[in-house]
Amino acid sequence: MSKYSITFARSARKEIEALDGKVVNGIFPKIENLSIEPRPAGCRKLTGNKHLWRIRVVDYRIVYTIDDSSNLVDIIAVRDRKEAYK
């Protein structure tokens, strides 16, 4: 199994920087695991967009794309579940 590189959209980076440190400590291990398994148990493909996936981390959603041809996971958004799909 090949390892995936992880990149962050500028907007996702800003969202992470605005989060509480405790929340970030819970989210980052999940993001790091995406480099090993980009489609972990519990992930969902978002309807209406053939390229977006999401995983849940407590009350937050990590929205990302997967490019299998270049082994790349691009984090698009890290948001509270109430705001994640707006």
Give the DSSP per-residue string, the chain: -PPPEEEE-HHHHHHHHTS-HHHHHHHHHHHHHTTT-SS-TT-EEPTT-TTEEEEEETTEEEEEEEETTTTEEEEEEEEETTTTT-
Whether 52 maps to a domain, the answer reads yes
Express each pLDDT in 56-79 by its tens digit. 998 899 999 999 999 999 999 999
Whether 29 maps to a domain, the answer reads yes
How many domains does the chain contain in total?
Answer: 1
Whether 86 maps to a domain, the answer reads no
Domain that holds residue 10: 5-80
Whether 15 maps to a domain, the answer reads yes
Q: What is the CATH number of the domain that holds 20?
A: 3.30.2310.20
Q: pTM higher than 0.85, yes or no?
A: yes
Whether 56 maps to a domain, the answer reads yes
| Confidence band of 86 (pLDDT split at 50, 70, 90) | low
Express each pLDDT in 10-59 by its tens digit. 999 999 999 998 989 999 999 999 999 999 999 999 988 888 999 999 88
